[in-house]
Structure 1
Amino acid sequence: MISYETNPVPKIALELLHSKDLVVLKILKMINYFYFLTSAVFLLMSCTDPKTQRSIAGVDVYGSLFVFCMVLYIPMMAFSFYYFVKALTKFFKYKNSRDGVLFLASSVVGVVALYSFNHWVFSEIY
């Protein structure tokens, strides 16, 4: 009979599973950073004048950021909705108010950024 102490395969398998979980957590953390960075770009764009012409080495930075925001508008809505549903799940299903508040705050950050960008686009540009 082979025990776990003499057979190193289960230990290696457990270490691989643990490292896979760490990789997934790091990817989720990077997605959160990207979400907040994109929210900051949305807020930055909504605070600028639409007639601004800024270019670096011949590349129109302002226009590139505007296109970036337009492309990511719908995915940001989806992420905000995901964070809102996750907050409600944490509040009601698990009764964990700390995690629920964090997800709700993340959702509010995205909604405020999207709302300000939407208001800016339709009041200043169109």
Structure 2
Amino acid sequence: MKRQEDVELYQLLENEERESFVREREEMRKLAKQQMLNVQEENKRNYDKGRKESRKYEEGELVAIKRTQFGPGLKLKPKYLGPYRIVKVKRGDRYDVEKNDPSAEGPNKTSTSADHMKSWPE
């Protein structure tokens, strides 16, 4: 038959083991989080090494925008559409552009980023 002291001792050991488990788990979580942050920081550094600052365009400049839709019959068409005039400069290297020549191929108005644009040859 179990004595009361044995039951209390068993409960004390069980509580201590539970608290130890919770402490170790929290420490492991903190360590895992720190390791993830370190890996993310290293990945960002490596990505930024090969990235150059995008060109800044101003309102009224003529640009060509990259064709982003692909499909059959477009393989031999030009990779850039234009000329487009920059109507509005937005934040984050984004621009609203409007077609300068209505007879040219492409959308009349669109929004695009600097990495999908290049200056229109004068």
Shorter-normalised TM range: 0.3 to 0.5
User: 1 or 2, which has the higher strand percentage?
Assistant: 2
TM-score (norm. length: structure 1): 0.33
The higher relative CO (CA closer than 8 Å, separation ≥ 6) is in: 1
Q: Which has the larger radius of gyration?
A: 2
